[in-house]
Amino acid sequence: MSAPTVLHVAGARPNFPKAAPVIRALDQRGIRQRLVHTGQHYDERMSEVFFRQLHLPEPDVNLGVGSGSHASQTAAVMAGLDRLVSVERPALTVVYGDVNSALAAALVAAKLSIPVAHVEAGLRSFDRAMPEEINRIVVDHVADLLFATSPDAAVHLGNEGIPADKVHLVGNPMIDTLLANLDRFDNAAVRAALALPERYLVATLHRPGNVDDAADAVDLVKVLHTVADQIPVVMPLHPRGRRHLEDAGLLTHRALRVVEPLGYLEFVSLVRGAAAVVTDSGGVQEETTMLGVPCLTLRPNTERPITVTHGTNRLVTRSNLTEVVAETIARDRPPTWRTPPLWDGHAGQRIADVLASHLG
Ligand code: UD1
Ligand code: UDP
């Protein structure tokens, strides 16, 4: 009989920094692994650059599903994985975060009676208008091993009736990647490459709630321009938001610089030196919390409240963003700040310990 295999399924930008430390820690334990890239994200800057910079192994398979409606994208991942998982029969399937690729993979594995491990389990925004919230709930309820990044996430799983022995509070593998790369972040180099002054603000926006509606985009662009009146803004723009935001006049302010999505090292280098960040990204709320950079999250809720209670995060609206930016950039960054428990760079090792003991 061949050695048991752990199958990782990743496919979208936020999956890659989460998978890297888990794959590395399992590798150190000599565990056989396979990596499937679903192809949900496919542009070089949304995918390949992360493999290169984070030393991820080349995927064994790329399903090449590409973009589409939620149903068609999820279905394409399911159909591709169904064949592969039925033949390979891995001992465990590991899925990451709350993207459609994770939902599809968890459903396929669960229906083939293959145990599912969910990295980043239990996060809840309690907002079912977010596609990710549906994905989180479904994945958590079919998973066998649930890895929580924060105590509140473990509490949510308990409240939903998930037995405590399935839940492991392990810390945050995204933060493992951040801490492992601290020496590689070069703010001066990225500022020089983008011709940025010393003080600037970073903005990233891609949530459907912010960028999918053309009329809303007009309002959003007006507000971003009032921010750029106060401080130069650099905006590595996700492909999702591009058309609506540009049609709404995003590019017409001289102090607002739109650039292509950046590689991981360049992006975190940029964030690290920013006076503040305006975002709707999940990962960026966490990274700013660790780096002590003020984060203004343009959303009505967050599934990561620990970044507010322990970190630098604050929820903002279009109505108060301009004023909050003014307040934030007028203040010095606090010299010390709290970070969430177990966000210490060792989450991947803890996850690998649990997976290895599950494999026996
Ligand atoms: C997905 C995740 C979201 C995550 C985000 C991170 C779901 C439901 N959503 O959203 O949770 O925060 O990734 O980045 O899984 N596109 C390209 N090139 C690419 C990929 C996408 O141009 O490489 C464009 C396509 O027009 C596509 C659109 O972006 O239709 C949206 O891509 P999709 O993967 O469906 O969702 P995201 O908005 O990226
Ligand atoms: N990121 C990057 N380049 C960019 C924007 C983001 O490398 O131009 C990284 C960043 O580390 C972030 C991660 O990609 O934490 C995932 O971000 P994204 O906002 O795409 O997804 P989310 O976390 O909102 O699901």
Which-ligand-closest: CA of 237? 2
pLDDT band at 333 (very low <50, low <70, confident <90, very high): confident
pLDDT band at 332 (very low <50, low <70, confident <90, very high): confident
> How many CB atoms within 10 Å of residue 35?
20
Kindly list the protein residues whose Cβ atom lies closer than 6 A to any atom of ligand 2: 13-14, 17, 204, 236, 261-262, 264, 267-268, 281-284, 287
Burial group, residue 295, by CB count within 10 angstroms (0-12, 13-18, 19+): buried
> How many CB atoms within 10 Å of residue 251?
14
Average pLDDT over residues 102-116: 98
Ligand 2 closest atom vs CA 287: 15
Any ligand 1 atom below 6 A from CB of 40: yes
Question: In the chain, which ranges are continuous DSSP H helix?
Answer: 15-28, 48-53, 70-88, 100-111, 131-142, 151-159, 173-180, 187-193, 208-211, 214-228, 239-247, 264-272, 282-291, 306-309, 321-330, 347-359
Catalytic residue from among 8, 206, 253, 346:
206
**Assessment of whether the complete model's pTM goes beyond 0.85:** yes
Q: Give pLDDT tens digits for 253-298.
A: 999 999 999 999 999 999 999 999 999 999 999 999 999 999 999 9
Reduced to 3 states, what is the DSSP secondary structure of residue 69? coil
For the chain, domain boundaries: 5-172+343-359, 184-330
Any ligand 1 atom below 6 A from CB of 51: no
Specify the pLDDT at position 289. Answer: 97
State the Cα–Cα distance between residues 28 and 87, nearest whole angstrom: 26
Which-ligand-closest: CA of 50? 2
Whole-number Cα distances in Å, 274 to 123, 195, 221: 27, 14, 20
Specify the pLDDT at position 1. Answer: 61
* Residue from 190, 242, 284 to probe ligand 2 pocket by mutation (most atoms less than 8 Å from CB): 284
Is the domain 184-330 a CATH 3.40.50.300 member? Answer: no
Q: Give pLDDT tens digits for 187-216.
A: 999 999 999 999 999 999 999 999 999 999
Mean pLDDT over the full length of the chain: 97
Specify the pLDDT at position 338. Answer: 87
206 is catalytic: yes
Q: What is the CATH number of domain 5-172+343-359?
A: 3.40.50.2000
Q: Give pLDDT tens digits for 46-76.
A: 999 999 999 999 999 999 999 999 999 999 9
Any ligand 1 atom below 6 A from CB of 100: yes
Pairing mode of beta strands 92-96, 61-62: unpaired
Specify the pLDDT at position 39. Answer: 98
* Intrachain domains 5-172+343-359 and 184-330 with the same fold: yes
Any ligand 1 atom below 6 A from CB of 317: no
Q: Whose CA is nearest to atom 4 of ligand 1?
A: 99
Most distant pair of Cα atoms in the chain: their distance: 66
Place of tokens 């321009």: 225
